[in-house]
Amino acid sequence: MAPIQYSSAKEGFTNKNIQFNTEKAVSNGDALLTKFTYENSVVEKDPSTGRLSVTPTAIDYDFKVDLKVPKVGLLLVGLGGNNGTTLVSSILANKHNISFENKEGVVKPNYYGSVTQSSTIKLGIDKETGNDVYAPFNSIVPFVNPNDLVVSGWDINGLPLDKAMKRAKVLDVDLQKKLAPYLKEITPKPSIYYPDFIALNQSERANNIFNKTAKGEPNVSDKWADVERIRKDIRDFKESNSLDKVIVLWSANTERYADVLENVNDTSENLLASIKNSHAEIAPSTVFAVASILEKVPYINGSPQNTFVPGVIELAEKNNSFIGGDDFKSGQTKIKSVLAQFLVDAGIKPLSIASYNHLGNNDGYNLSSPKQFRSKEISKQSVVDDMIESNEILYNKEDGDKVDHCIVIKYLPAVGDSKVAMDEYYSELMLGGHNKISIHNVCEDSLLATPLILDLVIVTEFLERVHYKRSDEGDDKYQDFYAVLTLLSYWLKAPLSKPGFKPINGLNKQRQALENLLRLLVGLPVNNELRFEERLL
């Protein structure tokens, strides 16, 4: 085998203890400038014969990354819930190096479950052995350290976070006691409450709302005032903490789906008018999204409702403000996005997928209402769509081939935050054979979701610092990514996509996109597994 050739260029980039030796990336003060050729293939299909014509394409891009890491604030909608209290607790435990003891011994603080903090990325091959070499995900480019995040937020319940943490029953008692002195000083900001959008069983918690009448009842007659109040909260939070950036993330109760109506929420202009007219189909999450967009603050939807109606997406486009959603992908759905892809890629035909869940936290309590459950059902069902459409051998569109996909969620208080998920994948094999895969999964829901929140915030902030331009268009002005951040799809059940494009749900494809973005920005080639070093003589 011929010796491997290594670049001797002086150009390159250094981050932490990694030196990237490449002519494609140049560090220039607080900016990283990179050249990248995006190669793909364009396919045309002859409708009469079905013949496919495939043409390779190549487009040259210039990328610019701002290397200076800003001071970032996170505003959570649902700060006093299980996810909110667990998130703040995890940051405090890591920041102050708070260890605690459980029945298995001493537990040191960590960020397990976070891609940015606890996973690695392949750099290349070892010069001597040819084996793969890995480095921490967050060592490639400068990311925000989660310990440095300033966190606050809103909640319809005003319980201080030490008591809210105890109510959530997520963390061990010893850790709760050590965190309580830090958490008791944190109280959620008053939020908005539109009773029609969440389950009636949540009304007892709604004691911390600002949209109320003189009698203390929820006031839904001035939704534009609610937008302005949230905008002020964002500005005040940013100013009082001397922040460079703010990100808003919804981790509150699942809402019912809002009806998408002509002349109501179908365009940005109609949407703003409908908010000012306090239309009944304007949801609280949409109000938060609009306020964030108007403040040019990224907004991420961690619940399954259709916050991003067409008018919201158009408003984000017009204001060049980032949005991402929908619904955290933490356990059962993440496994489904891997297993369904494996079956289809193996040429095995899934006929049905039956998913059953029961959980006992407040999320499960809210989802016991049919309208809120329907929002969750929709987000869970769509996770296999693109995989099915990728294989016309197994699924004939003309015959209406599809997967029977059944989802059940039940509220069972006794299990608390330990969600139980059971899945059955029933597939067809060759010559009439069948295969059945059954999975029983027990997960601590909030301890899976919290690292996702950190990753979503950290990656969103980083993407704000990435700019690009076409090398062949002669324009010196760099652009931002498109308003809908599809690169966040790895962490979301029902990822948004640009209108006209279908979302990608396969977990491996989503992860590969993230890795390749980081690689190209530091001048490395996109990853491949040809491994010619071992396959060719």
**From 226, 327, 386, 445, active-site residue:** 327
Average pLDDT over residues 260-270: 96
pLDDT confidence of residue 375: 60
Give 22's pLDDT tier (boundaries 50, 70, 90).
Answer: very high
Query: Cα separation of 457 and 248, whole Å?
Result: 9
Contacts of 103 (CB under 8 A, 6+ apart): none
Average pLDDT over residues 14-23: 91
**From 245, 334, 349, 419, active-site residue:** 419
Name the nearest CA neighbour of 227 among 151, 312, 306: 312
Q: pLDDT tens across 465-492, in order? A: 999 999 987 778 999 999 999 999 999 9
Percent residues over pLDDT 70 in the chain:
95
pLDDT confidence of residue 402: 86
Query: Mean pLDDT across the chain, nearest whole number?
Result: 91
pLDDT above 50 (res 7): no
Average pLDDT over residues 268-273: 98
Average pLDDT over residues 76-98: 97
- 215 labelled catalytic: no
Structural domains for the chain: 12-68+468-481+509-530 (3.30.2360.10), 72-111+144-298+309-321+449-453 (3.40.50.720), 332-444 (3.30.360.10)
- 419 labelled catalytic: yes
Average pLDDT over residues 407-425: 86
Average pLDDT over residues 484-508: 90
Contacts of 307 (CB under 8 A, 6+ apart): 250, 255, 283, 285, 286, 289, 301, 325, 326
Query: Cα separation of 154 and 421, whole Å?
Result: 30
**From 245, 329, 376, 380, active-site residue:** 376
pLDDT above 60 (res 4): no
pLDDT confidence of residue 381: 67
pTM as predicted:
0.92
Cβ count within 10 A of residue 530: 8
Highest mean pLDDT out of 248-257, 356-365, 400-409: 248-257
Query: Cα separation of 181 and 11, whole Å?
Result: 50
DSSP 191: B
- Report the interhelical angle of 268-276 vs 223-240 (nearest 10°): 100
Q: What is the 3-state secondary structure (H, E, C) of 384-442?
A: HHHHHHCCCCCCCHHHCCCCEEEEEEEECHHHCCEEEEEEEEEEECHHHCEEEEEEEEE
Average pLDDT over residues 96-102: 96
Average pLDDT over residues 155-162: 97
Distances from the Cα of 394 to the Cα of 225, 317, 384, 438, angstroms: 53, 38, 14, 21
pLDDT confidence of residue 6: 39
- Residue 478 sits at the vertex; the CA angle it makes with 474 and 484, to the nearest 5 degrees, is 125
pLDDT confidence of residue 380: 64
